[in-house]
Structures are given as structure tokens and as C-alpha cells.
Amino acid sequence: MVMARDLPPIAVSASGQLVLLSHPGSVDAQLPVELGAGVWPTWHPTRPLLATSRVQRERSGATAAIVAVNAGGNLVRTLHTCFPGIPPLIAPRIPHYVGWSPDGLTLSFVAQAPGGLTLFLSTLDGNGESELSVPVASGAPIFSCWLPDSSGLLVHAGPRLAFHDLSGPAEPQVITERGAGFRAPAVSGDGLFLAFASPAPEGGVIVMAGKPPAGPSLARGQFSGGVTLGFRPHTHQLTVAVASDPEAGVFSELWSVDLDTDERTLLFQNDPFVAFSWSPAGDRLLTVNPTHLGDGRYCWTVRSPDGWPEAYSEALVPGADSRVWLSFFDQYDPSHPCWSPDGEWLLLAARPPGDGVSGQLGDARDFVFAWDGRRQSTMRIVAPGDFAQFSRVSGADEGGL
């Protein structure tokens, strides 16, 4: 089995090429290795194989496909092609959202389909062959979350949150028809807790948690605004970001809710942020904070588990794809991680600090930065690129408590 820590980080160049990078902590001076065209790649959790979207623009219009390629850049399989007459993009610069199951046997992806935005499954066997893509659910917006044992998928489509069992053709189990005020559901690493949100009668949302896939859910706290959810790895501590301005995607509070004891702890407030991400070991917490300049620059802040800031990065303007990641970090973080598997490094793509904030005032080139998240440590440029990520922690390593 190939471990995630053995796979190199991967970037997307300005020309839309996939580029393998040297690990930031490596002493090797290897040059980047190009793997061919692709956007939004994601490493398979146990094999040197990645799934990526490819967009081809022709006079008759654009087409998009999802392909699996190996670490040498060779095509293994075309997993999906866009439907004739259907626009191939689900949003600007985004042809699909793709994510492997923790065991790597199944790929889920969201694509445009005749019935609207649809989540599909495609199953790889041991030889890299794939069955036809199977539609699972349609709706907009649509978000998903794998159970840690890969037995099924939780899908939040419109107001419905449902569990789709992969073991047979049974109908999906509806968890709630009133899912609102959150995007992707969250599941603890050991699979014992599922968290989501429902509207509160007097405003705001109530965070609910119970045993997946469809066990009884209990109210775990009411919050004043929409929330984004995630679990601190190897714990039953639910992290709840509370939005002060849902339209702007800015959060004003970060809470921790211990689902074993129902204890609620305010980690911090009045320090606006747009995203959070736990290191794989759960010993460090990243938040991305807009600077007070209001000019599109953001600061990456690494905190202790209790929310105390320990290190700040330089203020940078994220690249376009990095801004998409920040806007939907609860969906992208599991499949396109910014932390290295050992939790020692962070990757991000942004404009260099010395360049103009506006692309019209500089050369408008984005670069991949690596940062160890330590006090008085500076970011360093790894390579030119519009987006970058590490491999995800493999299903065998995710575990629980």
C-alpha cells in the first residue's frame, strides 16, 4: 500500500498543467515534473493515482472530462465525460468536484447533467477499470461527506440530508428534510458522530449530532448565524464556525463542542476569518483571516488547539482557485488538503507580497508558497502555480480516537 506521506504535493500551473513538486521539507533539488493537463487534481488515498478534471476548448464550445492518471502522467481511465448540450462547468473555473472514498475504491464527483447539478459515483476495481458513472442525487447546492469506513455517502442536496448506502440498491435514508444553515455535513474520524444544522425557530441554527447514518440526533447548541462544521481529528470535538455575514463568507466566532460531554468552548471571536483547517494530528489549527486593509489580502494564522494564535504568515492575495477552496473549505479540505500528511507544512497559491494587489498593477502571476506555520518563519516560493495541495491522509491512517 502506498502511504499518503510518500506521494509528492501537486500543483496546477498557469497553463493548466499538473506539476509534481518536491516536498517542502526535502533536501532534494528536484525540478517540478509535469503530468499533462488537469485542474483540481486529488490523489488516491492508497495508490499513486490521481483523479483530475480536464477541460478542452474548441470552436464549437468547451468539453470537460474526469480522468485517472498515474504518477507518470499516463492516462489510466476516462471516468466521465460531459453530457452533450450541457454546459461543462458547474461554476467559473470548476468543471467538477471530485473526492475519493477513504478506502480509495470509489470516486464521487459532482457534474452538470440533464437533471441539473448531480453527484455521481464511479468504482475502480483492482485493475484500474471503472464501471459506468452512477447518479446518486441531484439538487443545488449539493455537498457530500464519506463515512470513514467508506460504506456510504452523506449527501446534502437542497434542504435534504440523506445517507446513501453503497452495499445495495436500497433507497437513501433521509436524515432531515430541513437541513439549512450549513453546507457539508461532518463525521468524526471514528464514524460515531454525524453533525449537521437545522433552522432555529427564533433565528439562527441549531447544530444537531447523532450516530450515522440515521441514528437519533440531539441538539448540541444554538448559534446566531449559519455554520460550517468539522471535527478535530482523533476526537469527538466538533468545530463550529459561525458566520457573521453569510453573503460575504466571513465568520466571527469559532466554537468547540465536545459531543461526549456537550461542553461548549468559545475558541475565539472578533477575529474575522474565512476558513479553518485542522492538521492531520489535530495538534494545530489553521485559520485564514482577511487583513484590516480590506484590499483582498489574507493572513494564514496557525493556532493551538484552544484557538490561541501561535504564528502569522505574510499578507497575501490568494489565487482564483485558492479563493474557491477558501469559499468551500469544508468540502475541499478532505479531498484537497493544504496540510502535509505529517502536519509540518502548509501549501497555498497566491500573488507574491511585493506584487501589486490588483493584477493590473503587477504581472498577475500566482506562485505556490510553502510554510511550516512556525513563529518568525517566512513563506517560501516552491514553484509558479494557480493551486497546490498535498495528498490526503489515507483511509488506513484517518482512524478515530
Q: What DSSP string describes 247-302?
A: TTTEEEEEEEEETTTTEEEEEEEEEEESEEEE-TTSS-EEEEEE-TT-SS-EEEEE
The three cell numbers locating residue 132: 459506468
Q: Burial level of 70, CB count in 10 A (0-12/13-18/19+)?
A: middle
Report pLDDT for 157: 95
Query: What is the model's pLDDT at position 2?
Result: 52
Residues 6+ apart with CB under 8 A from 170: none
Does the pTM exceed 0.95? Answer: no
Q: What is the pLDDT of residue 134?
A: 86
The whole-number pLDDT of residue 398 equals: 52
Report pLDDT for 194.
96
SS3 content of the chain, % helix, strand, coil (to 5): 5, 50, 45
Closest Cα to residue 369, out of 254, 288, 276, 271? Answer: 288
The pLDDT of residue 126: 46
What is the DSSP-derived secondary structure letter of residue 163?
E
Nine-digit cell string for 364: 498577475
Q: Are strands 61-70 and 285-290 parallel, antiparallel or unpaired?
A: unpaired
Residues of the chain with pLDDT below 50 are 126, 128-129, 395-396
Give me the pLDDT at residue 396, please: 45
Number of residues that this document lists for the chain: 401
Radius of gyration of the chain (CA): 20
Query: What are the φ/ψ torsions at residue 16 (nearest 5 degrees)?
Result: 80, 30
The residue ranges of every structural domain in the chain are: 275-401
The answer to whether 73 and 18 have CB atoms below 8 angstroms apart is yes
d(CA 64, CA 40): 12
Phi-psi region of 249 (alpha: psi -120 to 50; beta: other; left: phi over 0): left
Determine the pLDDT at residue 61.
72
Q: CA 227 to CA 225: how far, in whole Å?
A: 6
